[in-house]
């Protein structure tokens, strides 16, 4: 039987860089030229299946990029297992903003958090202000994953989520339990194991 894990993922980044668009592409494979700015936080789920048939279910929190709501971001990234910090390759200021989010995450978030830096709007490469080298170098220095995407064309989108899934610690302690939404798991929760345990024929448990 294939294994199933569940992780909490949060998207951060300046307003209009395309966070909501990325999620929409990833979850529904759609794109919308006129998206309203997010005033709040949206919760969505999507599952990726890895080569070894392991499935990883992401609980995605898409946050508001507008400065005014910055103080609420910690509420959404706390307990997150992974974060996708997005910038717009056509706006160099958005990379600066992304860097400040990364610093905040490194300081405040769970120390084991997996962070991916994502340069979006790759389809507008002609108007590029942030070079691949610059971003990649920064990501390497900080030990982050990095990739470029286009929510519009879909390019790179599933790659970035798949690589995150691969990088997450897919080893769940057998005793892990609890509703994922109520108390997001610090590490992956193997849903199959849970189910088995629920049927009272669980494996060895040393608790």
Partner 1 sequence: MSDAFDIAQEITRPTEDVKVAIDARSVPRIADEAEKETWSGSDHEPTVPRRKILAVVSHVHADGKHEHGCVFVFTHKPPLVHTIPEDYVVEHAFPIIHGFSISMSQPRQTTIDLSSPPAGSTFTLNQPRTELTVTIDPGEDTPFSPITLQTHDIQGLRRLLDECKRLKEGFATETADDYGFEPFGWVAPYMADHALPPLLSSIPPDLRKLKKPVHTRLSTASAGMPGDDISDVEIIREEWMRRKVEDELFARGEKAGLKIRVGTFNVNGKFPSQDLSAWVRGDVARPPAAFIPPLKELSPLSLGEGQKNPIEETLAAEDPGNGQPPDATSSETRSLSTVSDATTYVNLSVDTQSAETAVSDAPPDVPEDPSDPDMLVLGFQELDLSTEALLYSTKTAREQAWCMAAFAGLGEKAVLYEKLASKQLVGMLLVIIVKKRLRHNFSEIRAVSVGVGIMGIMGNKGATAVRLLFTPTPSPSAANAEPQTRPTALTFVNAHLAAFDEMYEKRNADFQELSKRLVFEPAISVEDQQPPSNGSWYSPAAAPLSIFESDALFWLGDLNYRLTLPDADVRSLVADDQLREVNIRTLRRFDQLASARRTKKAFEDFVEQPITHLPSYRFSAGVLADGMGYDMKRKPAWTDRILHMASKAVTVKQRSYASHATITMSDHRPVSAEFDVEVSVVGLDEYEAFVHRVWRDVSAIEYIEERPRVRVEPTNVDFAKISYKREVTRTIAVVNIGKVPCSFRFVPQGPTADTCPPWLRIHPITGLVLPGEKVDVTLTTQVDEALASRLNVGQAHLEETLVLHTALGRDHFVAVSAEYERTCFATSMSWLVRLPGPVRELQSPDDVLPEDRSVNAPREIMRLVNWLMSNATETDGLFLTPGDEELIRQIRENLDTGGEFDFGAAEKESKVALAFGDTLLQLLDSLSEPVIPPALHPRCAQMTSRDEAFELLDDLPVVNVNVWISLTAFLHFLGQQEACKGRVEQLVAIFTPVLFRDDLTSPTPVSIIGRRNFLRYFIG
Ligand X SMILES: Nc1nc2c(ncn2[C@@H]2O[C@H](COP(=O)(O)OP(=O)(O)OP(=O)(O)O)[C@@H](O)[C@H]2O)c(=O)[nH]1
Query: Which positions touch Mg ion (CB under 5 A)?
Result: 19-20, 38
126 binds ligand X (CB under 6 A): no
- Beta bridge pairs of residue 117: 85, 146
124 binds ligand X (CB under 6 A): yes
Binder to partner 1 among 33, 71, 141, 200 (CB under 8 A)? 71
Angle between helix 92-108 and 132-142 (nearest 10): 10
Binder to ligand X among 4, 9, 12, 21 (CB under 6 A)? 21
| Residue written as token pair 């030229």 | 33
- Tell me which H or E stretch contains 146: strand 145-148
Task: Mark 23-42 with x for binding to partner 1 (rule: CB under 8 A) and - for no binding.
Answer: -----x-x--------xxxx
Binder to ligand X among 20, 81, 91, 94 (CB under 6 A)? 20
97-118: b or e for each residue (b if 16 or more CB lie within 10 Å)? bbbebbebbeeebbeebbbbbb
Residue 32 vs 140, nearer CB to ligand X: 32
Distance (Å, whole) CA 149 – CA 156: 5
User: CB of 43: closest distance to partner 1 in angstroms?
Assistant: 6
Binder to ligand X among 4, 6, 38, 91 (CB under 6 A)? 38
6-28: b or e for each residue (b if 16 or more CB lie within 10 Å)? bbbbbbbbbebbbbbbbbbbbbe
Rule CB under 6 A: which residues touch ligand X?
A: 13, 15-21, 32-35, 37-38, 64-66, 120-121, 123-124, 150-152
Rule CB under 8 A: which residues touch partner 1?
A: 28, 30, 39-43, 47, 61, 64, 68-69, 71-72, 75-78, 179, 181-182
């Amino acid at each position: 039987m294939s294994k199933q894990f569940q992780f909490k993922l949060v998207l951060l980044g300046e307003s209009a860089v395309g966070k909501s668009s990325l999620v929409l592409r990833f979850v529904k494979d759609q794109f919308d030229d006129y998206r309203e700015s997010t005033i709040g936080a949206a919760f969505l789920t999507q599952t990726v299946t890895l080569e070894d048939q392991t499935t990883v279910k992401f609980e995605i929190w898409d946050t508001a990029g507008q400065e005014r709501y910055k103080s609420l971001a910690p509420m959404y990234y706390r307990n997150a297992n992974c974060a996708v910090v997005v910038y717009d390759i056509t706006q160099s200021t958005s990379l600066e903003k992304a860097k400040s989010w990364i610093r905040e995450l490194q300081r405040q978030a769970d120390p084991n958090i997996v962070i991916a830096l994502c340069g979006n709007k790759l389809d507008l490469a002609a108007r590029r202000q942030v070079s691949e080298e610059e971003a990649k170098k920064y990501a390497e220095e900080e030990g982050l994953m990095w990739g470029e995407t286009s929510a519009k064309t879909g390019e790179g989108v599933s790659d970035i989520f798949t690589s995150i899934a691969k990088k997450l610690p897919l080893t769940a302690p057998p005793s892990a339990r609890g509703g994922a939404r109520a108390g997001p798991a610090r590490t992956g929760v193997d849903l199959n194991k849970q189910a088995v345990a629920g049927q009272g024929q669980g494996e060895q448990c040393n608790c």
